[in-house]
Amino acid sequence: MMNDFYSNNIILENHIVKLVPFEEKYKEQLKKIIYDKEVYYTIECKSDGELEKYVTQTANQRNEGNSYPFIIIDKRTNEVAGSTRYGNIQFNNKRLEIGWTWYGKPFRGTGLNKACKFELLKFAFEELEIRRVQFSADVRNTRSQKAIKKLGATKEGVFRANYIDTSGVSRDDVYFSILHSEWDEIKKYMFNEFV
The identity of residue 115, as a single letter, is A
pTM metric for this prediction: 0.94
Q: How far apart are CA 84 and CA 101, in angstroms?
A: 4
- Tens-place pLDDT, residues 154-170: 999 999 999 987 788 99
Q: What is the DSSP string of 120-154?
A: HHHIIIIIS--SEEEEEEETT-HHHHHHHHTTTPE
- Tens-place pLDDT, residues 65-107: 999 999 999 999 999 999 999 999 999 999 999 999 999 999 9
Q: What is the chain's alpha carbon radius of gyration, rounded to the nearest angstrom?
A: 16
Domains and CATH numbers, the chain: 12-190 (3.40.630.30)
